[in-house]
Structure 1
């Protein structure tokens, strides 16, 4: 039975989500503040996390950052505020999805199902990609360039994997949103642009003269192989 960690200081919301999650077949774990969330994450090793942003002791952003130091467990962040900068911040520090209160428990469960289906699909695929000085492993969620481990978030690794394993294919922002965030993701394509920008900034610290992430203006992005472009 898969474990779901529900982190929310509103006990009523936590109770409702727990009830729905149990109907979906999840073993539920409850935490009501950020410090308890970290402790239960370490003790219980959940398969997915619902994480409220505004909490006592440690907010959801701090909890997400700390978890991402050691784990790529799927995280859906929940907040009462819907400002774009908060959504972007949550996704950039490693959250997989973002839900704004008020929400329906059914919507939350649909988001969980979408993420878990995607994980199952990914596990069935080839998990290692090598091109020149670039190695991407989805088994370990690591990216290595010139023998150096590149500190990327889970979503940044997934974006690089998607582009690199289909070299020179152009992906629109909508393509990337649908394949990496799911068809029922309610965000917009600025999320993709923000992740690409941060991914490029991190890769720029390492020499990679034979490949790069290219912008195709008005269309989207691709993993460009320099040798192919010179032909």
Structure 2
């Protein structure tokens, strides 16, 4: 599965290592070293995936991710030297699809790249719109509507809604939902599902603090219900 990947990393040596690994895996890769150049390249060339370092000059990775999510649903794999959970989750709240903390091995990064691209290319199956209450999930068009209004979702958020819309009222564990998103098994990874759900509630619920469709099943996980029309 070949893709065009943008690497935004201010460490030139590390960026060159990533470029070589990506090209050895059959991908086309472009390297930039600051946030403004990253935005320019995404707008001009529309990559399938951005490998985005947080600490960059001119515009940091968090700001780049925030801007990208107003313009694009490109996959974002964030690289960060920050190990505090709050810092890691901030990237996910801004719309990153996955993250790696430094130091990391290039092989681990390549495994993440393959998983994200495979998820994005995975056949959505039947293309009929799935309706759950006021929600509509269209796998063919990769669109979500709430009450007839289109909702912008990141790839990870869409994957969660699409999986749950297939089986309304079924309870999904966080681990099961991870299989539909990144499929990765890391410490704290299940917390990322909580962040995606929190972001989805902000988008689809009239009152995110009192959700009626995307519900928590305490001690188990989450389920999607028709709620109130």
Q: TM-score, normalised by structure 1?
A: 0.88
Instruction: Kindly indicate whether residue 114 of structure 2 is the aligned counterpart of residue 113 of structure 1.
Output: yes
- Asked if the contact 1:111/1:184 (under 8 Å) is kept, the reply is no
- Asked if the contact 1:6/1:30 (under 8 Å) is kept, the reply is yes
Q: Which residue of 1 aligns with 2:125?
A: 125
Q: Which residue of 2 aligns with 1:183?
A: 184
Aligned residue for 1:76, secondary structure, equals: strand
Aligned residue for 1:189, secondary structure, equals: helix
Q: Which residue of 1 aligns with 2:170?
A: 169
Instruction: Kindly indicate whether residue 43 of structure 2 is the aligned counterpart of residue 68 of structure 1.
Output: no
Q: Which residue of 1 aligns with 2:49?
A: 48
Q: Which residue of 2 aligns with 1:17?
A: 18
Return closer, same or farther for 1:126/1:186 CA change in 2, 3 Å cut-off: farther
Q: Which residue of 1 aligns with 2:80?
A: 79
- State the shift of 1:226 in Å: 4.8
Following the alignment from structure 2 to structure 1, what is the Cα–Cα distance between the partners of residues 179 and 80?
Answer: 22
Q: Which residue of 2 aligns with 1:213?
A: 214
CA deviation map 1:11-56 (0-9, x unaligned): 0000000111110011111110000001111112111110000000
Q: Which region of structure 1 is more displaced relative to structure 2, 21-30 or 195-204?
A: 195-204
The number of equivalent residue pairs is 222
Uncovered stretches (5+) of structure 2, i.e. residues with no partner: none
Following the alignment from structure 1 to structure 2, what is the Cα–Cα distance between the partners of residues 21 and 15?
Answer: 10
Aligned residue for 1:136, secondary structure, equals: strand
Q: Which residue of 1 aligns with 2:100?
A: 99
Q: Which region of structure 1 is more displaced relative to structure 2, 106-115 or 184-193?
A: 184-193
Return closer, same or farther for 1:139/1:69 CA change in 2, 3 Å cut-off: farther
- Asked if the contact 1:33/1:58 (under 8 Å) is kept, the reply is yes
CA deviation map 1:129-173 (0-9, x unaligned): 233432123444432122222344332232222212211111011
Following the alignment from structure 2 to structure 1, what is the Cα–Cα distance between the partners of residues 201 and 14?
Answer: 38
Q: TM-score, normalised by structure 2?
A: 0.88
Following the alignment from structure 1 to structure 2, what is the Cα–Cα distance between the partners of residues 47 and 84?
Answer: 27
Aligned residue for 1:181, secondary structure, equals: coil
Following the alignment from structure 1 to structure 2, what is the Cα–Cα distance between the partners of residues 124 and 212?
Answer: 22
Following the alignment from structure 1 to structure 2, what is the Cα–Cα distance between the partners of residues 105 and 27?
Answer: 16
Uncovered stretches (5+) of structure 1, i.e. residues with no partner: none
- Asked if the contact 2:205/2:213 (under 8 Å) is kept, the reply is no
